[in-house]
Amino acid sequence: MIPRVLISLLLAPGLLTGAASAPAERPNLLWLSCEDIGPALGCYGDPHAITPHLDALAAEGVRFTHAFTIAGVCAPCRSSIITGLSPTSLGTHPMRSDVVLPAAVRPFPTLLREAGYHCTNNSKTDYQFPVPQDTWDHSGRAAHWRERGPDQPFFAVFNFTGCHESAIVDESRYARVTTKLEPGERRDPSRLTPPPYHPDTPAVREDLRRYHELITAMDRWVARRLAELEADGLAEDTIVFFWSDHGAGLPRAKRWIYDSGTRVPLIVRIPARWRSAGQGAAGSVDRQLVSSLDLAPTVLGLAGVEAPPHLQGRAFLGPHLGTPRAFVFGVRDRMDERNDIVRGVRGQRFRYLRNFEPWKPYAQYLNTAEKGATMSELRRLHAAGTLPPAAARFMAPAKAREELYDLENDPFEVRNLAASPDHRETLESMRSALEAWMLERRDLGLVPESELHARGREAGTRWDILRGPGGEARLRRLLAAAALAAETGEGARAAQTALLAEEDAVLRYWGATGLGNQARAGDPAGARLLTLLDDPAPCVRIAAGRALARAGSVERPLAVLTAALAGPNEWARLEAVQVLDELDEAARPALPALEAALTDQPNKYIVRVANRALNELRGTNRKVP
């Protein structure tokens, strides 16, 4: 525990006000979370880390070496954490999707409250759905366990926002967060080494310096929270969790489902009286695979509350452990204003990725990410042709369909082994595991967002799309159609054309998308695509317009795309403007529609893509928020 002398230094006068509680019948539960960091802590072996308080916490508890979030970005991850369900099951997989939970799904703090726990959240939610009123006793910047009733057990969440990528980018915010650091807690950029997928330049090293110093500031924050717990006499009755919502807020980390984007620190300190046999010994290290999906069932189990059967995670601590994992899974979908469907499997040694849209570049233009110095350096040196090989692959115009990495020998995941005969068995095993997981979870990611939106955001609409009779069979067909969209050649063209006649709009969408990927003038499928410009599903009209425009037939497809851009379906508007941006010079007649999209448009992502398209067409560099 934190020494008393340290408590006196950390706590401001008047802060030692919490009354000590009588011995509890159930443990208190404290979550200390932060944002946008990987396991860049001293206790994880990072040579540049200055994290004495978290290192001490690990020395008093258990450090998990293989903890992963289900996505490389905050909101889908937080959806999974609070519900115990994959965001692809709920329809919360795209950023800012804003759905309503089905009646059967409740945030797990509600169950703790029903069991008598006082539950507080200080203060981030960002769950991708309106927070039900019965989730928290108090959620806000003043929320604290000290509000509970006499001897009432608590579940308290505190979140540190200072490590967010914006604090690396924004000089003033970085300065505010790190203002109290001592000279010995500052880093020398010349001693920092960028990962091989980043260029080694002063600007990139400066980003790394800020990243590490923000983590040190967070470490001080952890100390203050733990000191409050000690001061209130609660340390021996409180199980403390520390974790991050996903990996580092830097390119090819945040938003991606490599280890750099999903492997996170997870430390749990369990007082002796609350340890199950063989768990939580001071200074222990646990190599079991843990997913962010597992936090909900684990906390419920430690509190003695039965987890609902629909939860998709497993308890990794407590008296009733779930079946050990062979794999954890990861998802990438719409990241801000750009769509990109990627699924991943991580075992103890290997990671497998499936890129469902390999025709898209790794580094699509994302307004927020482009503000960072490291991304600017990647763009600058890519244009100059001087990037190191691993960084150059990240800037390639298209992706591999499959990726396989040996983390034991390639921790930065830069040597793709998917084509290696020596690793075929591993590849096929992980590919099969991914497909089984997608089917079991009824993955909604292969359904275009405009089609999800057309079903509404009311309770259960997305949840039920693939859960009714025939849902698994439908998803199998979607998986096959999505795979076909990445194929080329006459055989693929014939199969893609056949999909255009399917009753299922999503199959028609994937068929038109595949034809658009290998568009050519005079394509025999052109007549069929022309009929789809009047399809009732906006995603199909947009995909058909893309295919025809890429084949050189522009006038009518542009009319369809600009109509969708001004239409009532919010996510169809985004899909349409993405296609207009992709068409480059062919989209010039749509300039007035792109200009109109900048005004009276509530969706900032549509504005960002329209602005990017206008900048490219006009050779300008107009900024948007």
Active site residues: 74
| Encoded tokens for 555 | 């006038």
Distance CA 488, CA 496 (A): 10
Cis status, amide bond into 123, omega within 30 of 0: yes
Beta pairing class for 238-244 and 328-332: unpaired
Distance CA 326, CA 323 (A): 9
Distance CA 311, CA 435 (A): 19
343 SS3 class: strand
Residue type, 96: R
How much is the CA Rg of the chain, to the nearest whole Å? 25
Distance CA 512, CA 491 (A): 15
Enumerate the H helices of 293-448 as residue ranges. Answer: 295-302, 373-384, 389-394, 424-441
Numbers of helices and strands, H then E, in the chain: 24, 13
Residue type, 287: R
- Up-side HSE of residue 20: CA atoms within 13 Å toward CB? 7
On whether the CB atoms of residues 500 and 479 are closer than 8 A, the answer is: no
Neighbours of 4 (CB within 10 A): 11
Distance CA 484, CA 476 (A): 12
Through-space distance between the first and last CA atoms of the chain, rounded to whole angstroms:
45
In 3D space, the residue among 279, 277, 214 whose CA is nearest the CA of residue 36 turns out to be 214
Output DSSP code: residue 67.
E
Output DSSP code: residue 171.
H
The residue whose two tokens read 């604290």 is: 144
| Encoded tokens for 425 | 């068995």
- Up-side HSE of residue 584: CA atoms within 13 Å toward CB? 2
Neighbours of 406 (CB within 10 A): 16
On whether the CB atoms of residues 290 and 67 are closer than 8 A, the answer is: yes
Residue 239, phi-psi category: left (phi > 0), alpha (psi -120 to 50), beta (remainder): beta
On whether the CB atoms of residues 155 and 117 are closer than 8 A, the answer is: yes
The count of residues in the chain is: 625
